[in-house]
Amino acid sequence: MFLKLVILSLLLLTVSLLAMAAGILLKKNGQFPAISIGKNRELKRRGITCPRHDELICHQRTGKRKTCGCQ
């Protein structure tokens, strides 16, 4: 019973991965979706920026040893 479950799980996983790969390969200009905040157009449109980038800007303004005002 356990072996059947493992084989079925691997089969479903393989089929889903192949379907995703086919979708990317068959689309014109197919790409993986941008999940990084810095490269995502929708997040840029909403004004959401990378927290690390915000922290670096804050430290440049206040000096490296001071806090950014959150404490």
Q: Mark whether 40 and 60 lie in a shared domain.
A: yes
Q: Is the pLDDT of residue 64 over 70?
A: no
CA distance linking residue 7 with residue 13, whole number of Å: 10
Q: Mark whether 42 and 63 lie in a shared domain.
A: yes
Give the pLDDT of residue 17: 94
Q: Mark whether 44 and 23 lie in a shared domain.
A: no
Share the mean pLDDT of the chain: 80
Q: Mark whether 71 and 40 lie in a shared domain.
A: yes
Buried b (16+ CB within 10 A) or exposed e, 6-26: eeeeeeeeeeeeeeeeeeeee
> How many CA within 13 A on the CB side of residue 9?
6
pTM exceeds 0.85:
no
CA distance linking residue 33 with residue 21, whole number of Å: 13
pLDDT grade for 62, boundaries at 50, 70 and 90:
confident
Query: What range defines the domain where residue 62 resides?
Result: 36-71
Average pLDDT over residues 29-52: 77
Q: Mark whether 47 and 63 lie in a shared domain.
A: yes
pLDDT grade for 71, boundaries at 50, 70 and 90:
very low
